[in-house]
Amino acid sequence: MKKEEEQKENKEMEKIVSLCKRRGFVFSGSEIYGGLAGTYDWGHFGVALKNNIQQSWWKKFVDNRRDMYGIDTAILMNGKVWEAAGHLANFADPLDGKQFNTMLKTEVGAKKGEVSVSYLRPETAQGMFVNFKNTVDAFHPKLPFGMAQIGKAFRNEIAPRDFLFRVREFEQMEIEYFVRKEDWEKYFEYWRGEMLDWMEEIGINMNKVHEVEIGDGERAHYSQRTIDFEFEFPFGQKELFGLAYRTDFDLKNHKLEYIDEDAGDKITPHVIEPSLGIGRTVLAILLSVYSEDEKGGEVRSFLKFKPNIAPVICAVSPLLKNKPELVEYANTRVFAPLKAEFGRVIWDDNGNIGKRYRRQDEIGTPFCVVVDFDTLTDNTVTVRDRDTGEQERIKVENLKKYIKDKI
């Protein structure tokens, strides 16, 4: 790669990382003690963004469907799970000519003789497989059906790097979709489409997404077919999400079966697994929405989040914070009702209006509402659009609807 290009790409990452810190999205883990490689802490707006992403995923793949069962399983699991799942033998990366198992080992129990070696789960998937029978017994689902989980996973990565891209503690959103063996190709295609739809819904730049077929010898030990959805990150085109056909590998190893009451047969279902990392989703979105333009002779940076995932939907300001009549109006007649309606609404009276707009642009707030002296007589407010910088006068009584129509 040419030096100039490399510098430009490093700059893009630097800008994102520093914006994330400056505006309270993401901080380095344990920063005041020199950090801990591969860990990050999420600030107020980062948590909000992450929650919106998770909610969008859960709504599309669990709430809006009839064939999906949500679950939230323990991070600590009996060590035998990892033996049966093949992770003890296979979940490893090459290091100094040897295979280094990247599961994070821990000990569970206190008293002598009661201590057992366990691992922080390296994928949420196994929590679902080991609850397959519980789920079938509790809900009697008919094939095909799925289990869905959002939760933490841990990997002792040899070289954590590239901000949120490769870390040691992260969150996954995973689905295990159980099908009859003969149907696997059909549902593999189906889930490929669903994943693409969702990426578009949350504002990932689809021109930068590429599907890559993972060849024999390159796939995880459990997979007979894998497609990686790769994203053009500034540091290279790399895996964003994966879609795997895990066959009956996991259920077989855990000795779990399914009795089809209608067909009267006992089978081991096969599994299609769409697997997504939340940190990588956040990074891909940030890289997709980060924008710069010129406003008033100055370069401004702004995040063009889709309103459905923006951490803040609207900021409310009194034009001047030392005018009680403006503050009172803005607080009681604008901020409070919008906050009650949308939740993701913040009060911002810090600095002059220009400064507030720059701050909200960097947080990616689609709308800024300002209460000024005209408001007191005509009950209208200024609504400023993040992307165009244009301002409109809107009647206070129409504000809720105005915002609702745009999100």
Return residues touching ligand GAP (CB under 6 A): 123, 125, 155, 157, 166-167, 170, 172, 174, 239, 241-242, 273, 275-277, 279-280
* DSSP 8-state symbol, 75: S
Torsion-angle region of residue 86: left (phi > 0), alpha (psi -120 to 50) or beta? left
Question: Closest CB to ligand GAP among 240 and 289?
Answer: 240
Both tokens of residue 341? 């309606």
Which residues contact residue 333 at a Cβ distance below 8 angstroms, ignoring those fewer than 6 apart?
396
CB of 128 to ligand GAP, least distance (A): 9
Burial of 87 (0-12, 13-18, 19+ CB in 10 A): buried
Contact 326, 373 (CB under 8 A): yes
Question: Closest CB to ligand GAP among 17 and 371?
Answer: 17
Q: Give the containing element (helix H, strand E) for 378.
A: helix 373-378
CB of 123 to ligand GAP, least distance (A): 4
CB of 395 to ligand GAP, least distance (A): 45
How many angstroms separate the Cα of 18 from the Cα of each of 21, 22, 177, 233, 258? 5, 6, 39, 17, 51
Closest-by-Cβ residue to ligand GAP is 277
Question: Closest CB to ligand GAP among 231 and 335?
Answer: 231
Contact 265, 182 (CB under 8 A): no
Question: Closest CB to ligand GAP among 166 and 384?
Answer: 166
Residue given tokens 């669903």 in the structure block:
194
CB of 246 to ligand GAP, least distance (A): 8
H-helix segments, 59-216: 79-84, 87-90, 125-129, 132-139, 184-201
Residue given tokens 């009647």 in the structure block:
395
Question: Closest CB to ligand GAP among 274 and 307?
Answer: 274
Which residues contact residue 288 at a Cβ distance below 8 angstroms, ignoring those fewer than 6 apart?
203, 204, 205, 208
Do β-strands 367-371 and 314-318 pair in parallel, antiparallel, or remain unpaired? parallel
Q: Give the containing element (helix H, strand E) for 118.
A: strand 116-120
* DSSP 8-state symbol, 297: T
Question: Closest CB to ligand GAP among 78 and 156?
Answer: 156
CB of 120 to ligand GAP, least distance (A): 13
CB of 245 to ligand GAP, least distance (A): 12
What is the dihedral sign for C-alpha 349, 350, 351, 353? Answer: negative
Give Rg (Cα) of the chain. Answer: 25
Question: Closest CB to ligand GAP among 84 and 314?
Answer: 84
Main-chain dihedrals φ then ψ at residue 255, nearest 5 degrees? 55, 50
CB of 107 to ligand GAP, least distance (A): 23
Both tokens of residue 53? 């992403």
CB of 355 to ligand GAP, least distance (A): 35
Question: Closest CB to ligand GAP among 176 and 372?
Answer: 176
CB of 195 to ligand GAP, least distance (A): 11
Q: Give the containing element (helix H, strand E) for 251.
A: helix 249-253
Question: Closest CB to ligand GAP among 101 and 375?
Answer: 101
CB of 31 to ligand GAP, least distance (A): 19
Question: Closest CB to ligand GAP among 167 and 334?
Answer: 167
